[in-house]
């Protein structure tokens, strides 16, 4: 969720820095904009300190719910600053002569800075609650024979979450901006494109697409250092994980140990191309799970690769961009004739961006997570049936067995325990741990239900292809007019 919301902030700046209502820089409006974020951080800090003294589950759930709402509010308040409080005009005033440079990165980075600092402030506000929960869970960890670590210091906590939530988004976006600015300067310095001409606009679009595509493909090489990783040491476990990749026919650059100072149990996969694909397993996850549970989590990440979820996510983003050019232009033309200008030019585009990135992408991400869960349970079932190690690939149509569902369900539950996540809590991109476990159990007793899920996911991909084709044709017609 963090990466989507912070990306939304940059998307709002990109879409609205030129379209926002013009106005003179106003110290009062700028102070109101900054004060809104300061008030949000102060409110959550006070609420967090209050809740740490009263830790029944209902109080924790309320605070987590409030924190989620406040993260959405960061993006919403940024839109208010863009279109109501003339924040772009204040940014131009702060930039001075640099505002007239033919580059976008200084304005984008400075303009989004208040939202990024507010996000860091919310991480700081959440620290007392996280620390209290870790201290409260220590006896349960001892009883369960889990390793016990002292809670992280505020600086360790900030550093880990800054890397994961902020820099993981900001670094690739900054790379795109800088690469696009450099490309635009080179293209326009040749003197072949008249400023404002259709040829110049096409050149800018080509540079933007090239920059985004290059960073999308190559960013994992940089992000592995943002997240503080190193290659996983050679061991029987690593050899089994490598065998799982070979058996599935999936290429990768490296399996990485993700250092979180033993305070975060997580796994991830980065990279569309095998040559820059990294699979990450955190230190706490490796320390607190059995080898078979680690294999289950690893298989979940392989499921994202096998079903090309990163590629399909890129297709979805392209659909949104084409929708803004084609259907979005049509909606704008129709609405401008019947609605006030601020609704047609500001409100509707804003709703489209927020709805597309949050609602639709959230639903799609949940489908992807469920498909990766099913892949993991199937893989663990196949490994168990073919011990010590399967020498043939798992049949594509195999169903979710009871053993695979049980092992992966136990791994999900352990992830919830070591990360202090309530098993019933949901996020924008993930269903609750309890729902995911129950769904796999339901599949394990009904093989036909697994086949129905497979068919459903086929239709999801068909819908994405149809959306891409429709928006592409529509956009081409608009551009050619």
Q: State the Cα–Cα distance between residues 422 and 409, nearest whole angstrom.
A: 15
Identify the band that residue 385 occupies on the pLDDT scale cut at 50, 70 and 90.
confident
Residue 8: pLDDT above 60?
A: yes
In a domain, 265, yes or no: no
Q: Is residue 167 part of a domain?
A: yes
β-strands 267-270, 278-282: how paired?
antiparallel
Collapse the DSSP code of 285 into the 3-class scheme (helix H, G, I; strand E, B; otherwise coil) and give the result: helix
Predicted pLDDT at 300: 95
The answer to whether residue 457 sits within a structural domain is no
* Residue 51 is assigned to a structural domain of this protein: yes
Dump pLDDT digits (tens) for 278-290.
Answer: 999 999 999 989 9
Total domains in the chain come to: 1
- Residue at token pair 């040749």: 190
Per-chain mean pLDDT for the chain: 84
Who wins on pLDDT, 146 or 174?
A: 174
Average pLDDT over residues 323-347: 63
Radius of gyration of the chain from its Cα atoms, rounded to whole angstroms: 24
What average pLDDT does this structure show over 79-101?
85
Check residue 44 and give its pLDDT: 94
Q: Is residue 397 assigned to a domain?
A: no
pLDDT of residue 192: 66
136/133 Cα distance (integer angstroms)? 5
Q: Is the pLDDT of residue 56 over 70?
A: no
Structure tokens at 328: 């979005």
pLDDT tens-digit series, residues 301-320: 999 999 999 889 888 888 87
Return the SS3 of 424: coil
Which pLDDT belongs to residue 200?
67
Residue 51 has pLDDT above 90, yes or no: no
Q: What pLDDT shows up at residue 234? A: 93
What is the number of alpha carbons within 13 Å of residue 15 lying toward its C-beta? 24
The CA-to-CA distance between both ends of the chain, in Å, stands at 38
Alpha carbons 244 and 236: distance in angstroms, whole number: 12
pLDDT at 481: 65
| Edge-first strand listing for the sheet containing 229-231 | 229-231, 254-258, 278-282, 267-270
Token pair for 331: 């909606």
CA distances from 160 to 155, 268, 285 (A): 9, 15, 15
- pLDDT band of residue 142 (cuts 50, 70, 90) is confident
pLDDT at 349: 61
- Cα angle 117-122-126, degrees, rounded to a multiple of 5: 150
Lowest mean pLDDT among 174-178, 217-221, 326-330, 475-479: 326-330
In this structure, are residues 367 and 373 in contact, taking their beta carbons and an 8 Å threshold?
Answer: no
Quick check: 410 pLDDT over 70? Answer: yes
> What mean pLDDT do residues 110-116 have?
94
User: Residue 438's pLDDT band (boundaries 50, 70, 90)?
Assistant: very high
Nearest-angstrom CA–CA distance, 430 and 119 = 21
Q: Domain range holding 51?
A: 1-192
201 in any annotated domain: no
User: Given pLDDT bands bounded at 50, 70 and 90, which one contains residue 253?
Assistant: very high
pTM: 0.84
Cα–Cα dist 403/382, whole Å: 9
Q: Of how many residues is the chain composed?
A: 481
Q: Is 17 helix (H, G, I), strand (E, B) or coil?
A: coil
- Which among 47-56, 192-201, 230-239 has the top mean pLDDT? 230-239
**Residue 274: pLDDT band by 50, 70, 90 thresholds?**
very high
Q: Is pLDDT of 391 > 60?
A: no
In a domain, 358, yes or no: no
Instruction: Inform me whether the pLDDT recorded for 420 exceeds 70.
Output: yes
Residue 144: DSSP 8-state: T
1-36 in b/e form (b: 16+ CB < 10 A) is: bbebbbbbbbbbbbbbbeebeeeeebeebbeebbeb
Q: Is 154 within a domain?
A: yes
Mean pLDDT lowest among 262-271, 413-422, 450-459: 413-422
Going by C-alpha positions, the residue among 433, 428, 431, 415 that lies closest to residue 71 is 428
What is the predicted pLDDT for the residue at 395?
Answer: 64
pLDDT for 330: 64
Confidence at residue 304, expressed as pLDDT on a 0 to 100 scale: 94
């Amino acid at each position: 969720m963090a990466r989507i919301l912070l990306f939304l902030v940059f998307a709002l700046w990109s879409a609205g820095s030129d379209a926002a209502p013009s106005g003179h820089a106003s110290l009062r409006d700028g102070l109101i904009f900054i004060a809104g974020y300061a008030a949000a951080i102060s409110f959550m800090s006070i609420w967090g300190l209050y809740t740490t003294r009263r830790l029944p589950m209902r109080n924790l759930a309320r605070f987590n719910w409030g924190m989620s709402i406040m993260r959405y509010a960061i993006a919403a308040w940024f839109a208010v600053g863009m279109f109501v409080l003339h924040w772009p005009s204040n940014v131009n005033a702060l930039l001075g002569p640099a505002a007239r440079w033919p580059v976008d990165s200084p304005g984008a980075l400075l303009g989004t800075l208040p939202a990024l600092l507010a996000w860091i402030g919310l991480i700081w506000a959440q620290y007392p609650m996280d620390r209290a929960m870790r201290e409260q869970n220590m006896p349960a960890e001892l009883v369960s024979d889990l390793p016990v670590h002292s809670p992280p210091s505020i600086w360790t906590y900030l550093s880990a979450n800054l890397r994961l939530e902020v820099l993981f988004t900001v670094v690739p976006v900054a790379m795109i901006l800088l690469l696009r600015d450099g490309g635009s300067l080179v293209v326009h310095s040749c003197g072949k494109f008249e400023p404002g001409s259709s040829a110049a606009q096409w050149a800018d679009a080509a540079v933007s697409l090239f920059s985004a595509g290059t960073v999308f493909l190559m960013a994992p090489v940089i992000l592995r250092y943002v997240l503080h990783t190193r290659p996983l040491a050679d061991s029987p476990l690593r050899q089994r994980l490598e065998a799982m990749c070979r058996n599935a026919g999936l290429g990768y650059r490296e399996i990485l140990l993700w250092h979180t100072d033993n305070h975060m149990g997580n796994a991830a996969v980065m990279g569309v191309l095998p040559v820059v694909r990294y699979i990450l397993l955190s230190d706490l996850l490796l320390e607190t799970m059995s080898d078979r549970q680690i294999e289950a989590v690893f298989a979940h990440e392989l499921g994202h690769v096998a079903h090309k979820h990163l590629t399909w996510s890129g297709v979805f983003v392209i659909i949104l961009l084409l929708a803004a050019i084609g259907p979005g232009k049509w909606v704008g033309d129709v609405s401008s004739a019947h609605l006030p200008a601020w609704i047609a030019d500001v409100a509707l585009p804003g709703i489209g961006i927020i709805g597309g990135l949050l609602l639709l992408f959230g639903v799609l991400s949940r489908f992807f997570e469920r498909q990766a869960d099913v892949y993991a349970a199937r893989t663990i079932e196949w490994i168990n049936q073919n011990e010590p190690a399967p020498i043939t690939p798992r049949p594509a149509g195999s169903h979710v067995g009871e053993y695979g569902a049980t092992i992966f369900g136990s791994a999900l539950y352990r992830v919830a325990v070591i990360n202090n996540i309530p098993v019933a809590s949901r996020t924008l991109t993930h269903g609750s741990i309890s729902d995911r476990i129950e769904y796999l159990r339901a599949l394990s007793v009904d093989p036909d239900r697994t086949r129905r899920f497979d068919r459903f996911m086929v239709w999801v991909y068909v819908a994405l292809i149809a959306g891409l084709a429709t928006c592409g044709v529509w956009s081409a017609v608009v551009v050619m007019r």
